[in-house]
Chain A
Amino acid sequence: MSARVPAAGPAGRALARLVRERTALAALAALIGIALACLFGPALTGHDPERAYPDLRQLPAGLAAQPDAGHLGSALERLAFRMRARLEGVVPDGDTMRLTLGSDAGVDRRSLVYLPRSALFGTPEVVEERDAGRSLVVAVPIRHLYFPLGTDVQGRDLLTRCLVAGRVSLAIGLAASLVALLIGVGYGASAGFLGGAVDAVMMRVVDVLYALPFVFFVILLLVFFRPSLLLMLVAIAAVEWLDMARVVRAVTLSLRERDFVRAARALGLGTPRIILRHIVPSTLGPVAVTATLLVPQVILLESFLSFLGLGVQEPQTSWGVLIAEGARSIEAAPHMLAAPAAFLITTLVALNLLGDGLADALDPRSA
C-alpha cells in the first residue's frame, strides 16, 4: 500500500491552503450553519412565521417560557373582555390555572373558545357551575411558548421571522450573483478573447456603464414599477456584473496567447467553443473569488432597497425589511433591530472572510 499522496495540481494545492486558512474555514462553517438554519429552522422553532400573539408584542429576547406572570394578567383581562365576562379569580396550579368567570347574563360556554384561540392556553375544562350559570369555574392549561429572540410589533416570533427572511435574502443574493456572474463571465471572456476593436468597444461600454448612477436607476425602476422579487433580481444583476466582466477580461487577455489556446485554435475549434471549453474554466479561480465577494454586495444592496421599502414586500420578508421594522421601534424594542442585523452582518462578514481566504489560497505566489 502506498502512502497517501498529497493532493496534486493547482486545485488540490489551493484546497490544501484553504484548509490552513482557519478564519476562512470558520466563515464557511458559519455560512453553512446559517443556510441550514434558514432552510430547516422555521419548521423547528414551533412558531408559524405569520402567527401573531397579540398579547406578547415586542417581547425582549430571553429564554423564559411565555406567557410569564406579567403578560398572563393582561392577556386574561383582554380575553375576559371578549368573552363578556368578569374575571373573578385566578388560581395558578402548576401548568394549569383555575379561572372563575362571572357574568350577570350568564357566562356563555361557547365563548370559552377564545381561550385556546389566543394560542396561549389549551382547551379549557368546566369544573364547576355556580349561580345558575352566572359564574363558571374552568381549568385552563397554560402553554409554554419560547421566543429566544423576542417578538416583533405584532407579536410574531422574531427568530422564526429572521430565519424565513434569511431564505429570501440568501436566495436573492445567490440568484442575482449567479445572473451577474453569467453575464460578467460571458461578456468579459468574449471581450478579452476577441481583442482588438471589439474589446475596445466592449470595455468602453463597461466604462460608460460604470459612470452611470446605476443604483439610482435601480431605485427609479423599483419606485415606478411595482417592486417585485423578479424585477429586483434583474435590476441588481444588471448593476453588479461589471466588476466580474473586468476581472474575467483581464485574465482572458493573459490566457489568449497561451499554448493550449493556440493548440485548440490549431485543431480548428470555433471561437465559442474555445471560450467555453478552454478560456472560461481557466478563469474559475479569480471568478470564484470575485463571486464570493459579490454575494455580500448583492445581499447588502437587496437589504438596502428593502430598508427603503422598495425591495421585498409584505407578506414576504427579508433581513432588510426586518431591520427597517427594527429601526422604526428602536427605542421601545432594540432587540428588533439587533436580531436581524446580527444575522445579516454575520452572513456578510463570513462571506467577505471566505472571499479573502479564497483569494489568498488561489494566489500562486503565497506559500
Chain B
Amino acid sequence: MGPVSNAGARFRQRKISVKQTLQVIKQSDIPDFDLEDQQRELQHIETGVEKGEEEEHHLQQVINASAAKFKGANVKQVYIPTPDASRIWKEADKYYYQKFSEPSEYIKFSAVVEDTSGCQYNMDERDDEFLQQFNKNLTKENQCTEDEFEIICERFDKIIDEKQPFLTMDPQQILSFDEIKKISLDPNSIKYLRPNEILAKKLNIPKFKTLYDADSSSGRDPRPIDQLIEKFGASIYEHWKNRRIERNGKPVFPTLKFEDPSQKDDSNPYTCFRRREFRQARKTRRTDTQSIHKLKVLYTDLKRAENLLLLVGERELKKQNLFEVNYETLKLRKEFKQLKRDANIKIDDELLYDKPKKKRPPIGYIPPPPVHKNEEKSKSNNKGSLPSNNKTSKTKIKAELSSSGSNKKSTSMELSNSNAQTNNNNNINKNNENNISNKLPQAVIQPYVKLPPAKIPDIELTTVNTVLKDKLEGIKKAVSDKLIKRKLQDEGWINFTDDPYNPYFDMSLNDNNLIEEKSHIPYSSIASSMFEVENSREINFSHIFNNNRHYSNNDSEIVKINFFTGQVVKNDRHTYLPEFYDAVGDEIPNTKFGRTKSELYEEFNEKNRFNVSEALFKVRKRHGRGGRIWMDRKRTADDDLFEEYLNYSDSEDSDNDVRVDGISTSNQILGKGTFDHEEKLFDDGENIMDVDKDDDVSESSPVKPKVVENSKKRRNAYDCNMDAKKRLKSRFMFDSDLPISNPLDPSKLNQIGKQTQAVRFGCMLLSKAYDNMHQIRQKQILHHQQKLQQQQHQQREQQLREQKERERQAVLARQNLNNRSNLKDKGFENGNKMDKLSSSLTASASTPKNSKTPKEKKAKKESDSKKPKINKKGLPKEKNKNSMNDISGSPSVKLKIENSVNGNKPATISNPKVDKENKI
C-alpha cells in the first residue's frame, strides 16, 4: 500500500457509525488478513483514567501486557501492587459473636444504625477506669454497670446538646448537676427517651426491649434512668463534666467535622458531608402560606399516625391480657379437672370448654330490625323488594299471601285464612313495639368510632356522600314507616291501587294507528326495568285452544283468561280471583265498590289514551325446582333493538336454560332443588307471590285439573339475582332523585313498583295477544259454522231436490233409489272431514257449540282424551306442540290478514269449490 492510498484508507477508517452493521469474522476465516499492517495502525486509546495517573508505571505495565496479549504475545500476568490487606485480626471472635440467621425471603430493612446500636454513648478506657474505681467500694447490688454508666452519660450529653448547643463558646458555663437532674427527672419530658421508651411511657407499661436491642452485657437489665441519676448521677456527673470541659465543651468523643458557616475557608479536608445549597425559589406570600399549610397538614398527619400507633399498641396489650387470662383459665380448668376426677364428682363438663364464640358483627354494623311478615309484605308491595336478611320460608309467604289477600277472596278461602289473619293482627302490636325499640339505636349509631375529642384535629370527617346517604336513609325510613302505618290503617280494606293485575290504560291496538316506529316501544316499564328473558321457549297456548270448555259460553266477550296459566276463568272468576283483570273489558258489577273496575279504567283511558303495540312477548309460567315459579317470556317479532336488549345477560340465560331442561312435571319431584341465592331475593318479592297466588288458585280449583298439568313448563323470567339488585338499586336512585316524572310513565303512577308494573304490563300484553287470538278463533269458528250451515243448507236443498225428484220420479223409476241414498252419505262425509281439518289446523279444542253433529262430538272427545297422553310423553312431543304454538302464536296481524281472506272467501266462492278446498 502506498502512502497516499494508505492515508486515504486511514481517513475513511476514522469515522464509524454505531448504527452501521459490522461483519463479524473469525480470524481463522480470513487467512490473508494482514495483522502487521493493522498493528501499525493501533493508536493510543483513551482510558478514562486521569491523565497524570495514566502514565503511572504499574498501570502502564499492565496495559501494555494486556495489549500485547491481545496481539498474540505471550506475557506474564502483571498486577498493580497495593498495600497489604492480608493480615487477619485474631481477636475478632471476641467482638463478633452474635449469630445471624438467614431469613428465607430477601431481607427488608429500614432501621438506621442508631436504632440498632442501643445507647449511643460508648465508654472508653478512661471511663472504664473511673467506673472500676467507683464500684470498688460498693456491694454488687449497688454497683453501677457499664450499661447504666453509659445510659447516664448519654442522658447528660443529650440534655447539654438540647440546652447548650454552643457550649464550646464557654465550657465553664456547663449546667450544674442539679439543673441537669431537674430537667432529666421532669416526668413530662420525653425528648431524651428512645422511641420504645416513649411508647412504653405512653402505654403505661414497663420498659421493653425491641428486636434491635442486644442483650445486656452485664447480664442484668439496667435500672430506670430516674433511679440511676438519683443513685450515681452526682459522681458520674463530675467525671463526665471534667471530660467535657477538657474537650472544650465538645462531646467527649470526636465526631465528624461538618461545615461551619462561621468559617470562610472551607478547605479543611476533614470537613465533609456538606449540605448542597440550592438556589431558593422566589419567596412570595403565596408560597409562604402554601408551605405553612403543607406543614400543618403534615403535622396533623403525623399526629394521626402517632395516635394510630398508640392505639395499635393498646390493642396489642389487650391481646396480651387476653392470652394471659386464657392461660390462667386453662390452668384452673386443669386443676378443676383433676379435682373432679379425684373426688369422683360427676358434673357437666361444660365448665371445661370454651363456649363456641358468637360471630361478632363488624364494627359499624347495624343489626336489621326483625321484620314482621306483614311489614315485609307491605314493604315489598309498596316499595319493591328490599334486600332483607330474613329467610322466611316459602310456606310462610304463602300463608301470608292467603291471609292478606283473604278479604278479596271467596268466603271459602276466608275461613281457612282467618286464623292466620288474627295471628297477624295480634302480632302487629308487638311488632310495632319491636320496631320502635329497634329503630332508636339505628338512628343513633354512627359507622365510625369517635376518637376522644382531644386527639382529633379540628377537621371535619363527614363527606358530602355520607350526608346525602344519611338523608336518603332518613327519607326511606320515613316512607317505609308511613307505608307500614297506612297498611295498618287499611287493614280489612282492599288496596285498589295495589291490585297488580289491573292496568289503567288501554291495551287495544287501534288499527288506524299502527305503530310504525318500533324503537319507541322500549319506552315502557318493561323495557326500562331490564328484564331477562328466556329465549328458547315460549308460552304454551295449545291448552287454551284444546280446552273447549272456554267456549261453552256463547258470549265470547265474557270469557276471561288467567294469562299465566292460560286457564279460563269465565263468569264466576270474581268469586275467587277478584283482582284479575277482565281482559276483554266486560263490566262486571262489583257491589263492594262504588264503581266497577272497568268504569274506572274507562275513565282513566279517557284521560290518558295512548296506543300500545300488540303483544311483544309470549309469556309462560311453570314450576321450577324447590317449588319456585318461573316466568318465561319470548318475543313474538324480530326487532334488532329489542333483541339486543333482551340478550342483555347471556350468562343468566344459559343458567336458566340448564334449569329448564331437566324439568318434567311438578312440584314434588323438584322440591329438593336449592337455589339459596334466589330464595333470599324473591321470598319477599311480589312476583312470586302474585304468581303463587295465581297458581294456588289454579291448583285449588278442582274443576280444571288439566290446566295444572299444562302449566308445568312455565318459569319466572324475573328470577334473576343481578336484575333484581339492579332494579332495586335503580329504583331507589331514580324514584327518589327524579323530580319530574313522566305522567304517562305507568311506573310512576300510584307509586307502583316497576316490578309490579312490569308484571301487569306483561299480563296486558298477553291478554292482548290472547284477545286477538280469541277473535281469530271466534271468526274461524264462525266461518266454520257458516260453512257447515251452508253445507247443511246445500244438503237440505239437495235432499229437497232429490226428494222432489224422487217424488217426481218415485213412480217413474223406483230402481234408482239406492244410488241416490249413497249420494246423501257422501255429503255428510265431507262435512266431517272439514271439521277435522279445521280443528287440527288451529290446534285447539274449540268447536262451535251449535255444531251438534254426533260425529263431531266424538272427534272432540278423542282429541281431549289424547291430549293428556301426549303431555305425559314429555319433551319430544312437546317440541311438536311448540312448533304448533309457533304457528298459532305468530304475529296476529298476519293471521288477521289470513283470517280476513278466509273470512271473505266463503261469501264469494261457490259451494262446490269450498268442498274441494276442504278435501284438499
Mutual binders A and B: no
